[in-house]
Structure 1
Amino acid sequence: MIGCLLIHGFTGGPYEVEPLADYLKERTQWEIAVPTLPGHGETLALRGIKHAEWIQHAEDELKELLSTCEKVYVIGFSMGGLIASYLSVKYEVDKLVLLSAAAYYINYRQLAKDIGNLIKEGLQGKILENELYNRYKFKMTNTPILSAYEFKKVVRIARPLLKEVNIPTFIAQGEIDGIVPPKSAQYIYETISSEEKNLFYSPKAKHLICHSEDKHELFGEIYHFLQSE
């Protein structure tokens, strides 16, 4: 049996990767796990949660799959991509997929453009209809400052290990991502030691790449990568 672990991002939840998880469930008989990291989910409760708890939870989920599956693939989104990279070095993972992985974070130019659009919609009285505004307003008001430092600790732990990633890896990045800049994907691609590595840019994707307009093209590429020998 094949197992597949999907890890969401910082301040997020399974909803960030569920479209891809559903796509894979429809086409395979794989054992698919989409855990919620401690303090995350639809209702954030991050206060007092340490970065080691996020990593440990993902690690426990991976070990569970490794105990029952012949092959295991790990897919990580944003901060989850860094955790996935870390796990791929520490354990016998067969393939790795990194989605908007946050080796670098905050794309100031795109973020400024997104904020400009928010202001424009605010002046037009449409601000409450903007999905970006609603989601990030909730995150900003429910994320303790210390939790952001815990996120940075994940980056500091995982980034130096990227050069040790040597398994087949698929890297995907949205070109209009306001959180993780495109240079993050290029940096990962150039840093990892994998002989088989793919770099895919989604022209219509913002940070939530699994929810982009062109997500099915991305999902098809990921499916082909995971299915190939």
Structure 2
Amino acid sequence: MKLGILFLHGYTGGRYELLPLINYLGDRYDFVIEAPEYPGHGKKLLIKNTNEEMWFEAAEKSYIALREKCDTVIVIGFSMGGVIAGLLSLAHQPDKLILIAPAFDNINLQYMVKYPYTYIHNMRYADLRILEFMLFRTFKVDYKSLVSFKKLQQRALYVPEQITANTLIIHGTIDGLVPIQKSRQLVKRIKKAKLIEIEKGPHEICLSKMNKKVFYEVEKFIFKNKSIN
């Protein structure tokens, strides 16, 4: 049985956000892997003239390519990639779904002001590369692309209740961008979902010092009740 994994990164991010996890699984197993970068995304961020439809189409194209080659397909979505993964699951029914710090809801600015310590912890436990990427991305974000991200969230507003795949949600407890409370609410909305909270885990958790815990939980979930050759 061939198993394929689709990795979907976040808004203004790129494949690099999930690369440690991709490498971890790729080095150990003979999985078929797809890790697209949405138009305008990646380390050379040129997001201005792209939109949510283009991002979703890139993800869907990679999913279809995997399904043609593999008996089993698992989708792993990080942040905005978690939203896209949810939308894909309605149209294409992946065998399993893994959502890492999924950004289904709008960021609560009041929460961020009230609990600024989350950002301090983010810097303390994150790999320094995260800070470089975040600083670079801040200057590249434009209003039009942000509206596109919001449209994607609106499109997925009632998606969690319709997800039927076995779902694992992983979220860091000190995520300063998408608060852990969002996933604590989300897990109650998805029929077959489990939430794993990673202590001291920041938003870019796969690039952080806590990523080994993420790898372990993902690996365990992939192989649960599954025979893979």
Same fold (TM over 0.5): yes
Q: Deviations over 1:77-121 (max 9, x none)?
A: 000001001111110310000000002325515872356689xx9
Q: Which residue of 2 aligns with 1:18?
A: 19
Of 180-189 and 38-47, more deviation after overlay is shown by 180-189
Q: Which residue of 1 aligns with 2:167?
A: 169
Opposite residue 67 of structure 1, the aligned amino acid is E
Q: Which residue of 2 aligns with 1:66?
A: 67
1:151 aligns with 2:172: no
Opposite residue 108 of structure 1, the aligned amino acid is M
Alignment check: 8 A CA contact 1:204 1:212 kept: no
| DSSP-derived class of the 2:159 partner | helix
Identity %: 31
Q: Which residue of 1 aligns with 2:222?
A: 226
Distance 1:132 1:25, change over 3 A: closer
Distance 1:206 1:40, change over 3 A: same
Tell me how far 1:136 sits from its aligned partner.
2.3
1:207 aligns with 2:209: no
- Give the whole-Å Cα distance in 1 for the aligned partners of 2:194 and 2:211: 17
TM alignment of 1:31-180, pairs within 5 A: 31-104=32-105, 105-106=107-108, 108-109=112-113, 112-113=116-117, 131=129, 133-180=131-178
Distance 1:19 1:110, change over 3 A: farther
Q: Which residue of 1 aligns with 2:213?
A: 217
- Give the whole-Å Cα distance in 1 for the aligned partners of 2:121 and 2:179: 18
- Give the whole-Å Cα distance in 2 for the aligned partners of 1:82 and 1:41: 18
Distance 1:80 1:100, change over 3 A: same
Equivalent residue pairs, number: 218
Q: Deviations over 1:11-68 (max 9, x none)?
A: 0000001111111112211101111111000011111211110001100000000111
Tell me how far 1:132 sits from its aligned partner.
5.2
Q: Which residue of 2 aligns with 1:124?
A: none
Distance 1:49 1:4, change over 3 A: same
Tell me how far 1:76 sits from its aligned partner.
0.1
Q: Which runs of 5+ in 1 are unaligned?
A: 122-128
Alignment check: 8 A CA contact 2:130 2:207 kept: no
Alignment check: 8 A CA contact 1:111 1:179 kept: no
- Give the whole-Å Cα distance in 1 for the aligned partners of 2:114 and 2:223: 34
| DSSP-derived class of the 2:212 partner | helix
Q: Which runs of 5+ in 2 are unaligned?
A: none
- Give the whole-Å Cα distance in 1 for the aligned partners of 2:88 and 2:100: 15
Of 215-224 and 2-11, more deviation after overlay is shown by 215-224
| DSSP-derived class of the 2:157 partner | helix
Tell me how far 1:159 sits from its aligned partner.
2.6
- Give the whole-Å Cα distance in 2 for the aligned partners of 1:67 and 1:100: 28
Alignment check: 8 A CA contact 2:119 2:176 kept: no
Taking structure 2 as the reference length, the TM-score comes to 0.89
RMSD in angstroms over aligned alpha carbons?
2.1
- Give the whole-Å Cα distance in 2 for the aligned partners of 1:144 and 1:193: 36
Distance 1:227 1:143, change over 3 A: same
